Amino acid sequence: MIKTIDEKEIKLLEEKAKQIRRLVIQMLAQAGSGHPGGSLSITDVITCLYFKVMRYNPKEPYWQDRDRFHLSKGHCCPALYAALSEAGYFPAGHLLTLRKFGSILQGHPDRRVPGVEVASGSLGQGLSVALGMSLAAKVDTRDYRVYCVMGDGEIQEGNIWEAAMACSHYQRDNLCAILDYNGFQIDGCTKEIMNLEPVTDKWRSFGWHTIEINGHDIKELLYAFEEAKTIKGKPTIIIAHTIKGKGVSFMEGVLEFHGRAPTKEEAEKALKELE
Amino acid sequence: MAEMLYQRDVYGKTLVELGKSDPNVVVFDADLSSSTRTCLFTKEFKDRFFNFGVAEQNMVAASAGMASCGKIVFISTFAIFATGRAWDQVRNTLAYNNFNVKIVATHAGVSVGPDGASHQALEDITLMRIIPTMKVIVPADGPQTRDAVLAAYQTQGPVYVRLGRPKVATLEGKGIFKFGEAEVLSEGKDIAVIACGIMVTQALDAAIALKNEGIYCRVINMHTIKPIDSKAIIKAAKETKGIVVCEEHTIVGGLASAVDEVVAEHHPTTVLRVGVRNRYGQSGEPDELLNEYKLSVKDIVATCKRVL
């Protein structure tokens, strides 16, 4: 039975997502490099996970029964860092040190950041990492869940499909993957560079339960995460249709912002839109 | 006649020991459990063994996820696949996090035999040694394989243990294994022969042959290649006329390079290398291949004479 979701709560989550988007813009403008497009496309997914779905305690980052999160598309870490800071893992003061020498906030995430379980950055490995975490729960008979956000370009990596096969072979129903399907990768749109379609059929044929939703609709996201918890005997993937650069009009669907930070002026303009 | 053992059998049995004493030990394999002998662990602890099928990249990255949850994970396959096929997973996802994963790889070197070039890892020591958090152990015989696996278990972080395919003779009088500390197996002031793995036996045989000609070798078993025992190397450089390094591996980046690096910085002396020179392996019996790749006792003898 899927729980009904309170409208007020949805509003609060939408506000939180906006706050994370603001932080992402500020961090990237200050850093002068990084990946705004994908950070903004995963913001709503990350917001739902950290502020509604997942079980964790920022005061005890290594609490054994915590739900695990792994950002396989490591380059979109600004959204994760902002969420971790908002969740209380570390003070907000660190955020503006992103990508700077000596910062805990490296260009791609690693374990010096409280709340980051496993480093990422080299694409295509995160689903395997999540599988390892999920199997550890089985070995230890713990009931935590594992969440893994992958990029769409990223699933062109063969390692992803090795993991996809294994997650279903081992019936990892405590594992929920999220595909950030924004349709773009560095060199262009996924359709042109290396077509992923029919992507849902691919996952289904690998033995996964699939849920396709609008990855910016908080309500749809929350229902999808609830549904995933009810699926037994197989892993779930949420195919989240998203927009690269979501929330900032001049970044939405603009390839350039995959890997270019906003200038100071662009950041000001973006922050006005996100007020 | 010396006892002959498969290092892989010793590995499998040692895993069972560890499985009994520590519930946190988990074992992964990639469809080679009967060859790597992780199958011995499977029989006893099926809930702590996971077969990844023919998918080494997935196995390595999953071991990182498993280790992040506090497990000590032993992962096994052939050396070429563990270190070559999945190198990026080892570097970026396993070792960068300094996770407690032990890569125990079998079928290293030309002594794999008939399977030929694709299955004969000659670069694995190099590939693992260059990764900052990785430690590397190459045990010389059966009993030392147990020592190496236990040392890997006790050492925090990632460790690579290199094992061979064929049976190897048990060495006499080795003393107690100490991780990171070379073993001096015979004393001599003319030449220091530093070897690892199956080349230690070859080096000892070469030393006997040379002794008959009045040339005395200090034979050193450098079972731990990283961290390397610099003291033993510097001492050998100072006290002998030169060093011969023997490894069943490319001469680029492995034990020979590790010795060269220490000697060059601390006490320059002649270092000659017995190893594979810019070649792939091929099919054949181990003895035929050791001859072909100039890794035989007579090759070591000839190289030692070049030092003098």
Check which CATH number belongs to the domain holding B74 and give it: 3.40.50.970
Q: Which of chain B's residues have a Cβ under 8 Å away from the Cβ of A125? A: 57, 61, 88-89, 92-93
End-to-end CA separation in angstroms for chain B:
32
Which pLDDT tens digit goes with each residue over B99-109? Answer: 999 999 999 99
Evaluate whether residue B210 is within a structural domain. yes
Contact B62 A122 (CB under 8 A): no
Q: What percent of chain A has pLDDT over 70?
A: 99
Q: Nearest to residue A255, comparing CAs of A183, A184, A151, A193?
A: A184
The pLDDT value recorded for residue A3 is 67
Average pLDDT rounded to a whole number, residues A86-94: 98
CB-CB neighbours of A238 under 10 Å: 25
Residue B303 structural domain: 183-307
* Portion 12-31 of B in contact with A at CB < 8 A: 26
**pLDDT of A2 above 80:** no
| pLDDT beyond 90 at A122 | yes
Is the pTM value of this prediction over 0.90?
yes
Tell me what the mean pLDDT of segment A96-122 comes to: 97
In a domain, B90, yes or no: yes
List the catalytic residues of B: 56
Residues B140 and B194 in one domain: no
- H or E element in which residue A16 lies: helix A7-31
pLDDT for the residue numbered A5: 82
Both B219 and B303 in one domain: the answer is yes
Give the closest of A119, A162, A166 to B93, CB-based. Answer: A119
Residues 76-105 of B with CB under 8 A from A: 88-89, 92-93, 96-97
How many angstroms separate the Cα of A215 from the Cα of each of A14, A120, A191, B276?
Answer: 13, 22, 19, 55
By the 8 A CB rule, do A76 and A150 touch?
no
Residues B52 and B150 in one domain: yes
Domain contains B249? yes
pLDDT band at B209 (very low <50, low <70, confident <90, very high): very high
For residue range B27-61, list pLDDT tens digits in order.
999 999 999 999 999 999 999 999 999 999 999 99
Calculated CA dihedral for residues A154, A157, A162, A167, nearest 10 degrees: 0
Helix H or strand E encompassing A46 = helix A43-48
Q: Where are the domains of chain A?
A: 7-273
pLDDT of residue B174: 84
B177 occurs within a structural domain:
no
How many domains does chain B fold into?
Answer: 2
Task: Quote the pLDDT of residue B172.
Answer: 87
CA B18/CA B233 separation, integer angstroms: 33
B66 interface with A at CB cutoff 8 Å: yes
Look at residue B1 and tell me whether its pLDDT is greater than 90. no
As a whole number of angstroms, the distance between CA A47 and CA A80 comes to 9
pLDDT > 70? residue B262? yes
Percent of chain B with pLDDT strictly greater than 70: 100
Using a CB-CB cut-off of 8 Å, the residues of chain B touching A162 are 52, 55, 57-58
pLDDT of residue B200: 97
pLDDT-derived band at A206 (thresholds 50, 70, 90) equals very high
Judged by CB atoms closer than 8 Å, whether chains meet at A163 and B66 is answered as no
Q: Which residues pair with A51 in a beta bridge?
A: none
**Looking at the structure, do residues B48 and B165 belong to the same domain, yes or no?**
yes
CB contact under 8 A, A132 and B67: yes
Q: How far apart are CA A238 and CA A247, in angstroms?
A: 21
* pLDDT at residue A1 greater than cutoff 60: no
* Residues B196 and B257 grouped into a single domain: yes
Q: What is the DSSP letter of A213?
A: E
- pLDDT score recorded for residue A4: 75
Is B62 close to A132, i.e. CB distance below 8 A? yes
Give the pair of three-digit tokens for residue B133: 């958090």
Minimal CA separation from B52 to chain A, in Å: 7
To the nearest whole number, what is the mean pLDDT of chain B? 97
Q: Give every CB contact of residue B106 below 8 A, 6+ residues apart in sequence.
A: B7, B8, B11, B32, B35, B36, B37, B76, B77, B78, B79, B163, B164, B165
In a domain, B176, yes or no: no
Does domain A7-273 correspond to CATH entry 3.30.2130.10?
A: no
Task: For residues B143 and B79, state if they share a domain.
Answer: yes
- Per-residue pLDDT tens over the stretch B264-289: 999 999 999 999 999 999 999 999 99
